[in-house]
């Protein structure tokens, strides 16, 4: 392409519609100045974010009771998140039970930020019509009253009967368990509708609820047809 053709093309563009296109006037006030006064100092940004990071780190240590400065930050955060998730699960269980009108254990009502460490949680699966089985277990290997409380506090062993609720809120089955719970105080009430075909779901609900309530090394599930005190039986036959 010759220079003449290029010149004609430029003239056509600049004089389109018989008007000449002109560059807008640039005012000094429109210029964005990037001097040292308006640009944040890199050291200041680093210091600000480092301070926030350390505050979060110390907060995580406070929640977990960690005092060492050598604990890995990621591990601290993971533990803190895990604790919060468990507390959230317990809160949801409490809310659902309250909304549906089902009584709940005292442990669910009070959610502690710092959880006590337990050795073992033993959940005894039971049903509405198994009152005689429960009484037999209470008379053999399940401590009652202050003895059971002492076992929890000193040995870190929690023992409780695990049961859900009837299909009808406030029905005769639920009221019977309410009366038994008031007398013995040894039930873990699940947000689960009792039924023979729902045993797998009940077991899953038990472990999820127990994990959210107690920080234990072991979680055990047994049925209510075990009536032998294994410890005493072993000692008497050695």
pLDDT given at position 93: 64
pLDDT in tens, 153-186: 999 999 999 999 998 888 899 999 999 999 999 9
Average pLDDT, the chain: 72
What pLDDT shows up at residue 226? 85
pLDDT of residue 195: 87
pLDDT more than 90, % of the chain: 41
Closest among 63, 84, 198, 180 to 128, alpha carbons compared: 180
Provide the β-strand partners of residue 158: 121
Positive or negative torsion for Cα 87, 88, 93, 94: positive
The pLDDT value recorded for residue 230 is: 64
| Residue 60 pLDDT | 53
pTM recorded for the entire structure: 0.51
Under DSSP, is residue 166 helix (H, G, I), strand (E, B) or coil? coil
Would you state the pLDDT for residue 142? 93
Mean predicted confidence (pLDDT) in 22-29? 48
Average pLDDT over residues 22-37: 46
pLDDT at 229: 73
State the Cα–Cα distance between residues 195 and 149, nearest whole angstrom. 30
| Residue 5 pLDDT > 70 | no
Least confident stretch, 49-58, 138-147, 204-213: 49-58
Q: For the chain, where are the alpha helices, taking DSSP H only? A: 3-14, 42-64, 73-100, 106-109, 131-140, 146-150, 172-184, 199-213, 230-236
């Amino acid at each position: 392409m010759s220079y003449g053709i290029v010149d004609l093309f430029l003239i056509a563009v600049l004089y389109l519609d018989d008007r000449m296109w002109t560059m807008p006037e640039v005012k000094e006030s429109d210029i964005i100045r990037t001097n040292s006064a308006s640009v944040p100092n890199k050291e200041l940004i680093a210091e600000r974010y480092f301070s926030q990071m350390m505050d979060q780190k110390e907060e995580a240590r406070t929640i977990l009771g960690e005092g060492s400065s050598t604990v890995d930050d990621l591990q601290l955060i993971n533990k803190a998140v895990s604790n919060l998730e468990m507390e959230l699960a317990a809160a949801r269980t409490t809310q659902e039970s309250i909304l549906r009108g089902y009584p709940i254990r005292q442990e669910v009502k009070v959610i502690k930020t710092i959880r006590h460490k337990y050795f073992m949680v033993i959940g005894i699966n039971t049903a509405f019509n198994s009152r005689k089985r429960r009484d037999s277990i209470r008379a053999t290997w399940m401590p009652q009253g202050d003895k059971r409380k002492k076992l929890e506090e000193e040995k870190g062993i929690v023992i409780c009967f695990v049961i859900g609720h009837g299909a009808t809120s406030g029905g005769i089955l639920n009221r019977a368990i309410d009366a038994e719970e008031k007398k013995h105080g040894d039930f873990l009430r699940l947000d689960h509708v009792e039924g023979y075909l729902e045993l797998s779901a009940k077991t899953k609900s038990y472990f999820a609820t127990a994990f959210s309530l107690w920080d234990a090394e072991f979680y055990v599930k047994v049925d209510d047809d075990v009536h032998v005190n294994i410890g005493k039986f072993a000692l008497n036959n050695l």
